[in-house]
Amino acid sequence: MAKAAGKSRAVRGSGNVFADLGLPNPEQEMLKAQLTLQIYRIVKARKLTQAQAAAALGIKQPNVSALLRNRGGPFSVGRLMEFLTALGQDVTVTVRPTKKAVGELEVVEG
C-alpha cells in the first residue's frame, strides 16, 4: 500500500490525553485513570488473583478485571479512593488556593 504524499506533523499533548481527545470532564477522567493505576500496581505487587482482589474490594471479579485493564469508568473518584483504603493505603485530599483561573486535580504517589 502506497503512503499518502505530504508531511505529518507531531503535536505536543497537554499532558491529559482525555483533554487532548476533547472528552468531557477530562480532569476527572485523568484522576480516575491515575487512581486506577495505583490499584493495579498494588494488586500486581501483592500478586493477588482477581478473586482475591474482588474480595478485598467488595466487588465482583469481572469489575476487578475491568479495573486492571484501566476501565475504571463506572466507578466514581470516591469509590476508587475507597478501594485504595481497602487495600491498606492512606488517601489524602489536599485543597489549597491556586493562582490559576481553574484549579487542578492530581495524584501524588507517596
Q: How far apart are CA 96 and CA 93, in angstroms?
A: 10
Residue 6 confidence class, pLDDT cut points 50, 70, 90: low
pLDDT in tens, 71-104: 767 899 999 999 999 999 999 988 889 888 887 7
Please report the domains of the chain, with CATH numbers, ordered by start residue: 25-86 (1.10.260.40)
Cell (9 digits) for 87: 487495600
CB-CB contact of 41 with 110 (8 Å): no
pTM metric for this prediction = 0.76
